[in-house]
Chain A
Amino acid sequence: DGGITQSPKYLFRKEGQNVTLSCEQNLNHDAMYWYRQDPGQGLRLIYYSQIVNDFQKGDIAEGYSVSREKKESFPLTVTSAQKNPTAFYLCASSIGGGPWTEAFFGQGTRLTVV
């Protein structure tokens, strides 16, 4: 079945460590996105990529980095520079090319800094 797979579902990190969240899709979508979800704040866009080897900062990119070396994969690294990394992270993809039709979401990764 086609879809988006995020791993791991739960992740614990010590302060000062970098951690990478995985996102893979087999929908043949050009565009991929990372969102952060905090209680009562909806979803905020971290980074997005419209095509392989290209990506743009979203609204809250500070302390995060991404890569898009393959169409299927868009990993997100939460660096030690992110002041408040504990959150629920959601990856999404869409056909791309605008205007918007639909975004498909993964099941999310819950990151906790301990």
Chain B
Amino acid sequence: GDSVTQMEGPVTLSEEAFLTINCTYTATGYPSLFWYVQYPGEGLQLLLKATKADDKGSNKGFEATYRKETTSFHLEKGSVQVSDSAVYFCAWGGNDYKLSFGAGTTVTVRA
């Protein structure tokens, strides 16, 4: 069935390190893809999105490219900060009004 698989955590990095969180999806058709971020004790906030193949979403130094050929939407940031410590969720939405989420990846950035 349709699903999202993202890299398991937790991930611990030093400030200014490079961050990659892998996300792959299995879906029929051409879903829209999203990365959401959740800070401790809060709801989810949209970080970036891409609605068609080869689109690149970007925000706050994070980037992800919709790769149809590899069914992937990996999240990257070149230089992380302590304030980037959060849980990151990959998600996809099709035409059936359901937004499907990955399990989440906890990222901790140390000063």
Residues of A that sit less than 8 Å from B by CB: 4, 6, 31, 33, 35, 40-43, 45, 48, 50, 58, 90, 92, 94, 96, 98-108
Contact = CB atoms under 8 A, between A and B. Distances in A.
B59 interface: no
A42 B32 contact: no
A42 B101 contact: yes
A107 B42 CA distance: 5
Nearest to B30: A99
B61 to A, nearest CB: 20
A18 B101 CA distance: 28
Of the listed residues B34, B98, B102, the one surrounded by the most CB atoms of chain A closer than 10 A to its CB is: B98
A43 B101 CA distance: 6
A30 B33 CA distance: 21
Interface string B63-103: 00000000000000000000000000100111111110111
Contacts of A108: 41-43
6 smallest CB-CB distances across A and B, nearest first, come from A100-B93, A105-B43, A42-B103, A43-B101, A100-B32, A105-B44
Give the interface size bracket for B toward A: 20 to 34
Nearest to B104: A42
B46 A102 contact: yes
A107 B96 contact: no
Nearest to B8: A40
Given A41-B103, A45-B98, A100-B99, A105 B32 contact: no
A31 B103 contact: no
A29 to B, nearest CB: 12
